[in-house]
Structure 1
């Protein structure tokens, strides 16, 4: 009896590397000479992306953040930070139908703590208190994107009958 066939192999993931692909930090408050006592209102937009790389079982997963801090009660921008952070992964034993959510949920979850530290350092080095990003619910983000795509497809073309 072949026991290997009866038991599916466990998914295997290794982080091969991670890096900042692109980053921009603009201290608008200092450029305009605004008051450093401004109370910030921080907005964070998150975009995820993933793709297969050239090597066997190698994939890339990226988190793109667009962070805007405005002064509370006004529309005065204090700073803008844009960052594209990438992880390179070796992934095995993940069924094809589960690979997409794996790349957009589990992979970002692995690299997010490193991205959080970079954002904290950049905002501190940019003249502001360190910005400690809240945890991101990657499952909710993934589900929202799937729903958005389904809604866009539903309005773009009539339902198949």
Structure 2
């Protein structure tokens, strides 16, 4: 009887883990498909030698953000909106680096926990979205300009 109960528990555990994986994969399918479409659009319009990083930003408008390199090794950041009707390209060195953003965070924001740093775009302005937990345990969003690192906006969720 003990072996039967143990076997049932193991089988149930395996089924739950398997279904969790299937569910997670199914949820991410639209984002992966959208990324593929954005990449196809980008390759039709820009000569790309290498894709270094790909990310997804969801603000007032959704963007796929690609860090790419051309054949000369020069790096660019490309923002492609979900609508696939245009794109914005900036040389990587036109803006502040991720290391400069991290220095800014430590110096100015003093987070309890840094959650993420993403490139995005709002109102045609390339930006960094910084998500962190502040000292009061609030989930905080802070936005700075990609080009200069100047403050754009922020808000907190929680108490």
* Range into which the TM-score falls when normalised by the shorter chain: under 0.3
TM-score of the aligned structures, taking structure 1 as reference length: 0.24
Q: Which has the higher contact order (CA 8 A, sep 6+)?
A: 1
TM-score of the aligned structures, taking structure 2 as reference length: 0.25
